[in-house]
């Protein structure tokens, strides 16, 4: 399969180029040139398939034969190796818990898959690949853990000093091996600026192969399809019909994957895009007017995005036709007070502990569900990742899973950067060679 640039449908790349470069030559995002409809045999088999097998059966159309099928089957089984249960929360709402992976957030799915695909393509490469990621918290940990120990790949995680939570920081600063954490004196935007400058630095690029690992990369957003199919199968088995899926969204990679699954035949009635007060997309869905804005900080910080990078992919899927988009999805923006009250109410009435991101999705679903529908929201992070917010509201401690405790006991090792580009570049050169 070839992948076209969202800036120019005629500009196409093969899978390997698309994965290694992340962005098209004209800075567009890559989209699959066609989306297959899954055969009846897939739906017959689905109730018996594991997450890894669903990954193989749905992703092979995009990744094979460039990756030989037998190798790809092993890859999906390794990447999707943790449970994603559908857990009933109230009579008409269930949580799809995506936080049982190594860093307790759904980004583990995409990052684990991307790392393995990249390693496959760089296996015969003459030099190492260097992945640069700027993070405000969750992306850095998922990418670093996804790539940990992968041969031929060095990962540099840049994060703003003092602006990520202790739990988040420990998940990418204690790893060692091929992971270098860089603590930058500045904001998340400063970190992103350093990464962008590096990508434009021809001198550096002559010395090193650089790439990114954010949800711009098709091998990171596309694998997120698998859990939509898996959730559907579980919900059907639990007797639910007329499914509505609510996705807490920031850069909209997660929802894009759901919409592609839908295009492949997933029988979901409709989707809800839930955002925090960064509400460009809900506003666009209501008015047809897209107005990017600076990101505003909220307790659901992984969704603090003022100009979602993947929204262009949704527009391409529907040929920029607002009517077609709103047939499949609606949007709702949820403010901070509603996040807090939802965490409290759902704990009081259902004894279920939400994290701030999941709370946004729960609230949106609860407000939009109609008679006869069953709602599934994507629980994208474990509440123990946000103890400062959650414990104050529910007035008790959130139990920490063992893998989180292991991180918290690890020793922090970082490189420091004042935010000056030349100094940052030297850190990369010292650790890449």
Ligand X SMILES: *Cc1c(COP(=O)(O)O)cnc(C)c1O
Nearest to 314 by CA among 396, 221, 195: 221
CB 188 → ligand X: shortest distance, Å?
13
How many of the other CB atoms lie within 10 Å of CB of 270? Answer: 18
Supply the DSSP string of 354-369, one letter for each residue.
Answer: PPHHHHHHHHHHHHH-
Question: The tokens 């998940």 sit on which residue?
Answer: 171
For residues 222 and 111, the answer to whether their CB atoms sit within 8 Å is no
CB 369 → ligand X: shortest distance, Å?
20
Structural tokens at position 424:
């940052």
**Whole-number Å distance between alpha carbons of 96 and 410:** 30
CB 249 → ligand X: shortest distance, Å?
4
DSSP-derived pairing of the beta strands 3-5 and 8-13: antiparallel
CB 189 → ligand X: shortest distance, Å?
17
| Nearer to ligand X among residue 254 and residue 417 (C-beta) | 254
| Nearer to ligand X among residue 145 and residue 249 (C-beta) | 249
CB 299 → ligand X: shortest distance, Å?
11
Structural tokens at position 59:
């992703």
Give the list of residues 6+ apart from residue 341 with CB closer than 8 angstroms, or none: none
CB 22 → ligand X: shortest distance, Å?
15
CB 275 → ligand X: shortest distance, Å?
9
Nearest to 114 by CA among 50, 173, 67, 181: 67
| Nearer to ligand X among residue 64 and residue 216 (C-beta) | 216
| Nearer to ligand X among residue 174 and residue 251 (C-beta) | 251
**Whole-number Å distance between alpha carbons of 361 and 378:** 7
CB 380 → ligand X: shortest distance, Å?
3
| Nearer to ligand X among residue 67 and residue 360 (C-beta) | 360
Supply the DSSP string of 276-345, one letter for each residue.
Answer: SS--HHHHHHHHS----------SSGGG--SS-TTHHHHHHHTTT-HHHHHHHEEEEE--HHHHHHHHHH
| Nearer to ligand X among residue 107 and residue 116 (C-beta) | 107
Interface with ligand X by CB under 6 A: which residues?
105, 107, 138, 215, 248-254, 302-303, 357, 380-381
| Nearer to ligand X among residue 304 and residue 366 (C-beta) | 304
| Nearer to ligand X among residue 94 and residue 278 (C-beta) | 278
């Amino acid at each position: 399969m070839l992948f076209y640039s969202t800036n120019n449908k005629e500009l196409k790349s093969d899978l390997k180029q698309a994965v290694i470069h992340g962005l098209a030559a004209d800075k567009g995002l890559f989209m699959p040139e066609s989306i297959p409809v899954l055969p009846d045999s897939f739906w017959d088999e689905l109730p018996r398939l594991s997450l890894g097998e669903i990954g193989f059966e749905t992703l092979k159309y995009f990744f094979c034969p460039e990756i030989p099928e037998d190798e790809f089957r092993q890859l999906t089984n390794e990447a999707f190796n943790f449970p994603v249960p559908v857990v009933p929360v109230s009579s008409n709402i269930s949580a799809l818990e995506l936080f049982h992976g190594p860093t307790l957030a759904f980004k583990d799915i995409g990052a684990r898959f991307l790392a393995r695909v990249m390693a496959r393509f760089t296996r015969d490469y003459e030099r190492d690949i260097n992945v640069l990621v700027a993070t405000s918290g969750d992306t850095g940990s998922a990418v670093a853990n996804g790539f940990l120990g992968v041969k031929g790949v060095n990962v540099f995680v840049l994060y703003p000093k003092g602006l990520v939570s202790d739990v988040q920081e420990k998940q990418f600063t204690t790893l060692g091996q091929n992971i270098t954490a860089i603590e930058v004196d500045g904001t998340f935007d400063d970190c992103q600026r350093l990464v962008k400058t590096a990508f434009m630095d021809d001198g550096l690029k002559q010395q090193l192969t650089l790439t990114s690992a954010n949800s711009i990369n098709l091998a990171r957003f596309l694998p997120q399809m698998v859990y939509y199919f898996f959730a559907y199968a579980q919900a059907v088995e639990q007797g639910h019909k007329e499914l509505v899926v609510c996705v807490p969204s920031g850069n909209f990679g997660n929802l894009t994957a759901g919409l592609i699954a839908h295009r492949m035949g997933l029988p979901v009635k409709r989707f809800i895009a839930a955002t925090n007060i960064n509400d460009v997309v809900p506003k666009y869905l209501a008015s047809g007017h897209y107005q990017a804005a600076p990101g505003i900080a909220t307790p659901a910080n992984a969704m603090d995005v003022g100009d979602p990078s993947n929204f262009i992919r949704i527009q391409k899927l529907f040929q920029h036709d607002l009517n077609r988009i709103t047939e499949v999805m609606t949007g709702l923006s949820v403010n901070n007070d509603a996040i807090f009250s939802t965490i409290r109410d759902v704990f009081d009435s259902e004894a279920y502990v939400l994290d701030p991101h999941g709370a946004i999705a729960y609230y949106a679903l609860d407000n939009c569900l109609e008679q006869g529908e069953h709602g599934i929201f994507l629980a994208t992070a474990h509440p123990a990742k946000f103890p400062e917010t959650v414990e104050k509201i529910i007035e008790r401690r959130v139990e920490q899973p063992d893998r989180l405790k292991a991180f918290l006991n690890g020793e922090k090792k970082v490189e420091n950067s004042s935010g000056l580009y030349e100094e940052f570049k030297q850190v990369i050169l010292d650790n890449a060679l």
